[in-house]
């Protein structure tokens, strides 16, 4: 309960605290407390709470610490960022960041599918004010697009949840939305209604995750959001939607519908990668480029789950790699954006000369996210590729490699245009300077990405194997 209560209490304190300069420091304090509570729950015998509605299962044991570490890194970055944005009132911004942490934590812990739906909807409402922080017309447009498209997705997810409950009724059982009970009773659920539920839920939560073709909110939202918000959305909120899809996938597996689920998820994953690759070629807005990169990597996640076997392990590992690499890319791109006052490659060049640390980390983040060794994404993507080859899905493996190559070329042309060359005179004369607070958290994320590529600590490996085995285990 503390995992959820800590950020909620901190959000209330942030809203009431009258000192704007002191308010941002609540973020790292709450982040540290939240990480400590998560660590205590993982290492101790954390009992279920609220009559079993909240519980640490293998999915939440993996995703929750990922969210907590990602938030802590962003929280360490936020005070320096908000100090430079003294022209904006940060009361609502800080409070909503903390509420977003609370709602994301609730998504991972919720064992009642209705409560999980409420938590996902609450995370949508907490995100809206964060997207509008810059108060520009484009930020307003991005906020409304995010709210409207996400609301449609959430409505479909609610409809799919009703279908799931009705499949139990049609199967002659008492309807329930408790995840564990649905897994146990899955073999007796009505197949037509169960398949309809999964399809609807995949579209609904896939909208929140940003799978193509339900991704249309991402380019605007990620393009206009502050870097710290983009990092939490691309690495955190999408991971929460992935948890929802994992839960429904496990129910389908328990019902013996592996073939239907596998074909659907492989098709959806490859479609997302294809759409991302097309829009990433000749992309001139480097923050919108990161949005399409997120679409690509959401596709990689569901592709790994759809292939199954060792591919599921690769997908679980890719959750970590994607989250921390997106932390590198969004925070460093935010530094570049503020130094140049633009996101277009027509006006941004020579970032390595203007911002040596941020420019270097942005380049390193690009190398990592495109699956280059020795960084973590290379290992997780290679694992998914190996699973595709071992399962004789040669067409999917070939298309996977082709899309990775196109993304590398398209993304590389944009990133190199940003970091190479000489800075424009206006950028050289700008007042923005890198500080320890704006580069150290990015550097720490980069170290994590490198570590996951060369060595996976045993506790992390246990969490990865636990989540992958739990997904495909039958009752």
Name the CA dihedral angle for 155, 156, 157, 163, rounded to a multiple of 10 degrees: 120
pLDDT score, position 52: 83
On whether residue 262 sits in a domain, the answer given is yes
pLDDT score, position 475: 66
Is the CB of residue 103 less than 8 Å from the CB of residue 123?
A: yes
Band (pLDDT 50/70/90 cuts) for residue 208 is very high
pLDDT score, position 282: 86
pLDDT digits (tens, 9 = 90+) for 136-170: 999 999 999 999 999 999 999 999 999 999 999 88
On whether residue 131 sits in a domain, the answer given is no
Band (pLDDT 50/70/90 cuts) for residue 81 is very high
The domain total for the chain is: 1
- Phi, psi torsion values for 112, nearest 5 degrees: -95, 125
Band (pLDDT 50/70/90 cuts) for residue 431 is confident
Whole-angstrom distance, CA of residue 80 vs CA of residue 192: 53
Within 8 A by CB and 6+ apart from 132, the residues are 139, 140, 143
Which residue carries 């006052």 as its tokens? 341
Q: Which two tokens stand for residue 185?
A: 């009773």
On whether residue 72 sits in a domain, the answer given is no
pLDDT digits (tens, 9 = 90+) for 213-261: 999 999 999 999 999 999 999 999 999 999 999 999 999 999 999 999 9
Paired residues of 112 in beta bridges: 178
On whether residue 252 sits in a domain, the answer given is no
Per-residue DSSP letter, 236: I
pLDDT score, position 262: 94
pLDDT digits (tens, 9 = 90+) for 99-145: 999 999 999 999 999 999 999 999 999 999 999 999 999 999 999 99
On whether residue 323 sits in a domain, the answer given is yes
Q: Check pLDDT > 90 for residue 287.
A: yes
Q: Which two tokens stand for residue 377?
A: 């994404």
**Mean pLDDT score across all residues of the chain:** 94
Q: Check pLDDT > 80 for residue 60.
A: yes
Within 8 A by CB and 6+ apart from 433, the residues are none
Range of the domain at 318: 257-475
Band (pLDDT 50/70/90 cuts) for residue 44 is confident
pLDDT digits (tens, 9 = 90+) for 456-467: 999 999 999 999
pLDDT digits (tens, 9 = 90+) for 289-327: 999 999 999 999 999 999 999 999 999 999 999 999 999
Whole-angstrom distance, CA of residue 68 vs CA of residue 76: 12
Is the CB of residue 398 less than 8 Å from the CB of residue 329?
A: no
On whether residue 80 sits in a domain, the answer given is no
On whether residue 395 sits in a domain, the answer given is yes
- Phi, psi torsion values for 285, nearest 5 degrees: -100, 110
pLDDT score, position 231: 96
pLDDT digits (tens, 9 = 90+) for 322-380: 999 999 999 999 999 999 989 999 899 999 999 999 999 999 999 999 999 999 999 99
Q: Which letter, b or e, does each residue of 201-211 get, where b requires 16 or more Cβ atoms within 10 Å of its Cβ?
A: bbbbbbbbbbb
Band (pLDDT 50/70/90 cuts) for residue 428 is confident
Over residues 422-449, the mean pLDDT reads 90
On whether residue 69 sits in a domain, the answer given is no
Q: Check pLDDT > 90 for residue 414.
A: yes
Which residue, among 393, 181, 236, 206, has the nearest Cα to 299 in the 3D structure? 206
């Amino acid at each position: 309960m503390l995992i959820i209560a800590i950020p909620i209490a901190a959000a209330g304190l942030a809203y009431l605290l009258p000192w704007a300069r002191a308010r941002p420091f609540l973020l790292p304090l709450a982040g540290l407390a939240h990480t400590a509570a998560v660590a205590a729950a993982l290492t101790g015998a954390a009992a279920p709470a609220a009559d079993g509605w909240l519980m640490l299962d293998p999915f939440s044991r993996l995703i929750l610490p990922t969210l907590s570490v990602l938030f802590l890194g962003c929280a360490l970055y936020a005070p320096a960022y908000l100090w430079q944005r003294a022209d904006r009132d940060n009361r609502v911004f800080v409070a909503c960041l903390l509420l977003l942490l609370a709602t994301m934590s609730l998504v991972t812990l919720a064992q009642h599918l209705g409560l999980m739906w409420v938590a996902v909807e609450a995370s949508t409402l907490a995100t809206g004010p964060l997207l509008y922080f810059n108060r520009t017309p484009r930020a307003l447009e991005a906020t409304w697009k995010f709210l409207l498209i996400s609301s449609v997705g959430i409505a479909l997810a609610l409809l799919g949840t009703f279908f799931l409950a009705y499949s139990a009724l049609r199967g002659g059982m008492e309807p329930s939305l408790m995840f564990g009970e649905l897994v146990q009773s899955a073999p007796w659920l009505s197949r037509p209604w169960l398949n309809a539920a999964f399809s609807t839920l995949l579209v609904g939560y896939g909208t929140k995750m940003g799978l193509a073709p339900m991704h249309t909110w991402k380019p605007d939202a990620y393009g206009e959001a502050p870097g710290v918000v983009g990092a939490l959305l691309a690495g955190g909120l999408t991971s929460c939607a992935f948890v929802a899809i994992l839960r429904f996938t496990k129910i389908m597996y328990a019902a013996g519908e592996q073939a239907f689920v596998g074909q659907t998820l492989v098709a959806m994953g490859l479609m997302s990668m294809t759409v991302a690759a097309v829009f990433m070629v000749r992309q001139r807005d480097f923050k919108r480029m990161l949005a399409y990169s997120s679409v690509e990597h959401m596709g990689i996640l569901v592709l790994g789950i759809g292939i199954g076997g060792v591919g599921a392990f690769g997908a679980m590992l890719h959750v970590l790699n994607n989250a921390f690499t997106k932390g590198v890319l969004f925070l460093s791109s935010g530094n570049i954006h503020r130094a140049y006052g633009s996101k277009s490659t027509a006006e941004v060049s020579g970032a390595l000369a203007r911002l040596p640390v941020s420019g270097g980390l942005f380049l390193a983040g690009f190398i990592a996210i495109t699956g280059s060794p020795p960084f973590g994404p290379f290992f997780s993507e290679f694992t998914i590729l190996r699973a595709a080859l071992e399962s004789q899905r040669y067409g999917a493996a070939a298309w996977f490699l082709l899309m990775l190559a196109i993304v590398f070329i398209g993304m590389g042309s944009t990133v190199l245009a940003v970091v190479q060359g000489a800075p424009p005179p206006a950028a050289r004369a700008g007042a923005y300077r890198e500080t320890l607070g704006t580069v150290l958290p990015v550097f720490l994320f980069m170290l994590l990405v490198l570590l996951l590529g060369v060595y996976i600590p045993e506790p992390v490996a246990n969490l990865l194997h636990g989540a992958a085995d739990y997904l495909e285990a039958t009752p």
